[in-house]
Amino acid sequence: METPLENFVFPNIVAYAVPAFILLVIIELIAVRLTGRGRYEAKDSAASLFMGFGSELAPLLGAGAVIIAAFTAAYEFRLTTIPNVWWAVVLCFVLDDLRYYWWHRISHERRWFWASHVIHHSSQHYNLTTALRQTWTGQVIGALLFKTPLILLGFHPLMVIFVGGANLIYQFWIHTELIKRMGPFEWIFNTPSHHRVHHATNPRYLDANYAGTLIIWDRMFGSFIPEADEEKPRYGIVKNLGTFNPLMIAFHEWIGIVRDLRTAKSLREVGGYLLGPPGWSPDGSRLTSAMIKERWTRLHGGSAPEPTTENPTAQPAE
Amino acid sequence: MTGNLLIDSAISLAGIAVLVVLTRLIFSAPPAPVSEAGARERLAFDEPDFEPQFWIIDMGGRAALALATTGEAAIIRRLGRDLITRRFRATKATIVLDGSPAAAADIDHLVIKLPDHTVKDIKIAVGSDMTEQVAALQRALV
C-alpha cells in the first residue's frame, strides 16, 4: 500500500549538507597533504568558496521569487497530478537527472549558457572546494527552461526542488583526485574518475561526461569518455583566467559576450556570439572545442578519441 | 541557520576564512618561479602548434614570453601555483620596452598589455643575458 506523503515537507537538504561539506573539505585537505594525490591552494580555494557563498545569495536578489512564482504557475497547468509518494520521488529524481544531463550539455555547447556554467570550471584545481565553485547567474533561465517541464508533467514543485538538491549533493564528493576507480559502480553512476574527465581541458577529454548522478545518460547519448591512465587530466578552461577575483570569475564571459556583440556586423554574428559554441568567431580566429580536437588530431595523426556509448571493461576498484 | 541573513552570512564567511587559513597552513610552500622548461611544457599543452624560437624569462620568475618566427608571441604567466597562457600576434598587443633609446642591451623590463579583460598587464624584468631575445622582440614588433 502506498504511503501518502501529503504532509511530507521536503527539507532544504543542501543547507543541512553544509556542515558535512566543511568536514569533508578538512578531511580532504589532510588526506591530500599526506598522500600527494591532489592539489590545494589557498587563493584558489578562497575563490571557490566565495563563489559558492555568492551563489547562495544570488537567489535572494529576486531569482528565487521568480522561480517559485513560475513553478507555482506551471503547476496549475500540469498534465496530471503525481502523488507525493516514495516512488514518485525516485521517478522524479531519475527524470530530473536526465534533465540535468541535457541542461549541462547545452551549458557546454551554447555560449549563453556557458557564460554561467564556466564559473564552475574556472579552477585549475580539482578538489572538494571546486565542487562549491558555483555560478552567480543563469539560475532563473536554467530553472524555467529545464525544470518547468517536470512540473508540467505533474511533479510537485517542492519535489522537483528537493531532488535537484539531492543531485547537487551527490555531485559534491566526486570532485576529488583521492578516489581513483570504483569498479562496476562506474557503469551506472557518475564517479570521481568520470567527472575528472569532464573537468579536464585535455583535447581528448573535452566536452564529455555531462552526467549529474547517472553516467548512463552519457553512454546513451554518446558523450562518454573514460579516464585514461596514460593521460592525466589537466583542469580548468581552455583559456584559463588570470585572476582569482570573484567578480571577474563570475562575469568574465558575460563581459566577453558584450564586447563581441559590439563588434557584430550581422544578425548571424549576433546569433553566433550568443548561441554558438564557446569559442565561435565569425572569422574562425578563435577555437571551439571541436577545433581544438581537430588540431590535436592533425598534430598527432590518427583520430582523436571520440565519445563512446559502449560499456567499458570493469576497472579494478582501488 | 539562524534565519537572519546578516548573521548567517557572517557565519558563512567566517567558515570560509577558517578553511582558507587551514589550506594556507597545510599547503604553505611558495610557488615555484616560472622557468623556461615549465613555460615550455605549459605552452605545449595549451598551444601545441606554437613553435617558440626565443624565450624571455622574467628575472622574478613571474612570467615568460615566447616568440615564434611567424610573428606570434605567447605569454605564460604564473597564477598562484599554476600557469596560464595567452597567445597573440606581437603587433596586436601593446608591448612597452622600457629604456630609450631602444637599444636591446638597454632594455631592463617590458610590459605587455593584452586586449584581454581576464589578464592584467604583465611585467617582465629582463636580464642582461636576454639581449638577443629582446632584439628579436623588437624586430617582431615592427
- Choice among A151-165, A223-237, B81-95, B128-142 with the minimum mean pLDDT: B128-142
A212 phi and psi angles, rounded to 5 deg = -90, -80
Whether A199 shows a pLDDT value over 70: the answer reads yes
Average pLDDT over residues A241-260: 96
B42 touches chain A (CB under 8 A): no
- Grid coordinates representing A119 are 564559473
Per-residue pLDDT reduced to its tens digit, A16-53: 898 899 999 999 999 999 999 999 999 999 999 999 99
**Partner residue facing B19 (CB), from A39, A49, A255:** A49
d(CA A75, CA A158): 11
- Choice among A66-70, A131-135, A246-250, A304-308 with the minimum mean pLDDT: A304-308
Compute the nearest-CA separation of A73 from chain B (Å).
27
Average pLDDT over residues A96-125: 97
**Partner residue facing B23 (CB), from A42, A239, A248:** A42
- A chain contacts of residue B119, beta-carbon cutoff 8 Å: 242-243
d(CA B60, CA B126): 9
A187 touches chain B (CB under 8 A): no
Q: What is the pTM of this model?
A: 0.91
- B chain contacts of residue A129, beta-carbon cutoff 8 Å: 19
- B chain contacts of residue A43, beta-carbon cutoff 8 Å: 80
Average pLDDT over residues B65-80: 93
Q: Would you call B117 and A56 a contact, using CB atoms and an 8 Å cutoff?
A: no
B84 touches chain A (CB under 8 A): yes
**Partner residue facing A29 (CB), from B1, B22, B84:** B22
* pLDDT in the model for residue B95: 81
Dihedral sign of CA atoms B127, B133, B139, B141 in order: negative
Smallest CA-to-CA distance from A191 within A207, A212, A167, A168 is with A212
Average pLDDT over residues A125-135: 97
Residue A3 pLDDT class (50, 70, 90 cuts): very low
Whether A151 shows a pLDDT value over 90: the answer reads yes
Whether A1 shows a pLDDT value over 50: the answer reads no
* pLDDT in the model for residue A6: 53
Q: Would you call A252 and B49 a contact, using CB atoms and an 8 Å cutoff?
A: no
* pLDDT in the model for residue B102: 61
B36 phi and psi angles, rounded to 5 deg = -65, -40
Q: Would you call B20 and A44 a contact, using CB atoms and an 8 Å cutoff?
A: no
- B chain contacts of residue A243, beta-carbon cutoff 8 Å: 79, 118-120
Per-residue pLDDT reduced to its tens digit, A180-193: 999 999 999 999 99
Q: What is the mean pLDDT of chain A?
A: 91
Q: Would you call B27 and A25 a contact, using CB atoms and an 8 Å cutoff?
A: no
Of all residues in chain A, the one with the smallest CA distance to B42 is A234
Residue A315 pLDDT class (50, 70, 90 cuts): very low
Average pLDDT over residues A77-92: 93
Catalogue the long-range contacts made by A314-317 (C-beta closer than 8 Å, 24 or more residues apart).
A314/A183, A314/A184, A314/A186, A314/A187, A315/A181, A315/A182, A315/A183, A315/A186, A315/A193, A316/A181, A316/A183, A317/A181, A317/A182, A317/A183, A317/A185
d(CA A166, CA A15): 11
Whether A316 shows a pLDDT value over 80: the answer reads no
Average pLDDT over residues A155-161: 93
- B chain contacts of residue A255, beta-carbon cutoff 8 Å: 117
Residue A112 pLDDT class (50, 70, 90 cuts): very high
Compute the nearest-CA separation of A108 from chain B (Å).
19
| Most confident listed range (A67-76, A235-244, A294-303, B107-116) | A235-244
**Per-residue three-class SS string for chain A:** CCCCCCCCCCCCHHHHHHHHHHHHHHHHHHHHHHHCCCCCCHHHHHHHHHHHHHHHHHHHHCHHHHHHHHHHHHHCCCCCCCCCCHHHHHHHHHHHHHHHHHHHHHHHHCHHHHHHHHHHHCCCCCCHHHHCCCCCCCHHHHHHHHCHHHHHHCCCHHHHHHHHHHHHHHHHCCCCCCCCCCCCHHHHECCHHHHHHHHECCHHHCCCCCCCCECHHHHHHCCECCCCCCCCCCECCCCCCCCCCHHHHHHHHHHHHHHHHHHCCCHHHHHHHHHCCCCCCCCCCCCCHHHHHHHHHHHHCCCCCCCECCCCCCCCCC
Average pLDDT over residues B25-52: 94
Q: Would you call A30 and B26 a contact, using CB atoms and an 8 Å cutoff?
A: yes
Whether A7 shows a pLDDT value over 70: the answer reads no
Largest Cα separation within chain B, whole Å, is 66
* pLDDT in the model for residue A29: 96
- B chain contacts of residue A22, beta-carbon cutoff 8 Å: 15, 19
A42 touches chain B (CB under 8 A): yes
Smallest CA-to-CA distance from A112 within A256, A265, A285, A238 is with A256
Q: Would you call B27 and A26 a contact, using CB atoms and an 8 Å cutoff?
A: no
Q: Would you call A243 and B120 a contact, using CB atoms and an 8 Å cutoff?
A: yes
Residue A255 pLDDT class (50, 70, 90 cuts): very high
Whether A257 shows a pLDDT value over 70: the answer reads yes
Of residues A144 and A180, more confidence is placed in: A180
Cα atoms found within 13 Å of the Cα of residue A59, Cβ hemisphere only: 15
Dihedral sign of CA atoms A205, A211, A213, A214 in order: negative
